[in-house]
Amino acid sequence: MDYNYPIRHDWSTTEIIAVAAFYEAVEKAYESGIAGEKLMEAYRGFKKVVPSMAEEKTLCKEFEEASGYVCYRVVQMAKDTSGEEIIKGMPSR
């Protein structure tokens, strides 16, 4: 990983950890696979920090530009699966 996660400097340490956990879950979905429920758990933690859809889109776009991974696709796949189904092998961009 040669990029930085998009974070906001006014977040608390706990909030940064929650957002980073979501980014890590998205990376895992692309790189090795992750259970849909694990991804959704990370997404729920992210949404507690970033409840605004506009801010979510901004952060996810910044993350996509840095990593090549698309948060939206992974979250949609997780929503469409049963809880333990593994999301894996996502095409980048």
Give me the CATH number covering residue 22.
Answer: 1.10.220.80
pTM value? Answer: 0.90
Residue 93 belongs to a domain: no
Residue 72 belongs to a domain: yes
Residue 69: name the closest of 9, 24, 12 by CA: 24
What is the band of 1 on the pLDDT scale with cuts at 50, 70, 90?
low
Residue 63: name the closest of 17, 13, 24, 35 by CA: 24
Q: Which domain holds residue 37?
A: 13-84
Query: What does the pLDDT read at residue 83?
Result: 67
